[in-house]
């Protein structure tokens, strides 16, 4: 962990660039830029820094996870629909070994059965699902607490 405090990489998967207009009855009307601003403010208040990246491409997300090895202390990750399909993203998380918190705006357990399956969750330290944009802030809080509790181990 650097002197500037923990560095958090926030990753958003496919279709999350359209938050605000995408199925507002499911995902609300807050835009991704607004969510990222809230995360950055919360991180700063906790003495951390947060950098955000969104991609619609599984490979680009895998590359970002690999690059985080040297550039981040922890990951906050909404993998979108890749949550339910991607062993490759779970493998990438295990490969870098960085603590990751999985977040979802909607309550994936209250939706279609296929969304109850997460390939990513077993590679994460925890999951927050169903609280809209607040899921990210709760996930950030959990991740920062986890990092300070495990500071000696890193």
Of 16, 7, 23, 30, residue with least CA distance to 103? 16
Tabulate helix, strand, coil % of the chain (nearest 5).
50, 20, 30
Q: In the structure encoding, which two tokens stand for residue 30, read together? A: 């807050």
Among 10, 61, 105, 124, binds ligand DQA (CB under 6 A): 105
Per-residue interface string for the shown chain with ligand DQA, residues 108-137, x marking contact by CB under 6 A: x------x----------------------
The contacts of residue 106 (CB under 8 Å, 6+ apart) are 26, 27, 129, 130
21 contributes a contact to ligand DQA by CB under 6 A = no
The one among 21, 71, 81, 110 contacting ligand DQA by CB under 6 A: 81
How far apart (Å, rounded) are the C-alpha atoms in residues 6 and 34?
A: 22
Active-site residue, 66 included: no
Quick one: which segment of 65-73, 92-100, 105-113, 136-144 binds ligand DQA (CB under 6 A)? 105-113
Which of the ranges 42-50, 86-94, 101-109, 145-153 carries the binding residues for ligand DQA, by CB under 6 A?
101-109
CA distance 29 to 8: 25
Choosing from 7, 46, 104, 119, the residue that interacts with ligand DQA (CB under 6 A) is: 104
Please state the length of the chain.
154
136 classed as catalytic: no
- Could you list the residues that contact ligand DQA (CB under 6 A)? 15, 78, 80-81, 83, 104-106, 108, 115
Catalytic residues: 27, 104
């Amino acid at each position: 962990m650097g002197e500037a405090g923990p560095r958090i990489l926030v990753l958003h998967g496919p279709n999350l660039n359209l938050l605000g207009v995408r199925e507002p009855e499911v995902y609300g009307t807050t835009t991704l830029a607004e969510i990222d601003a809230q995360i950055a403010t919360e991180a700063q208040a906790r003495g951390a820094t947060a950098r955000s990246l969104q991609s619609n491409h599984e490979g680009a997300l895998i590359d970002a996870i690999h690059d985080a090895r040297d550039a981040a202390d922890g990951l906050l990750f909404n993998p979108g629909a890749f949550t339910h399909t991607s062993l490759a993203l779970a493998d990438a998380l295990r490969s870098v070994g960085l603590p990751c918190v999985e977040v979802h705006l909607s309550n994936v357990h209250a939706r279609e059965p296929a969304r109850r399956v997460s390939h990513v969750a077993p590679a994460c330290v925890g999951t927050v699902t169903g609280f809209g944009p607040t899921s990210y802030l709760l996930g950030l809080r959990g991740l920062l607490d986890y990092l300070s509790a495990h500071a000696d181990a890193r």
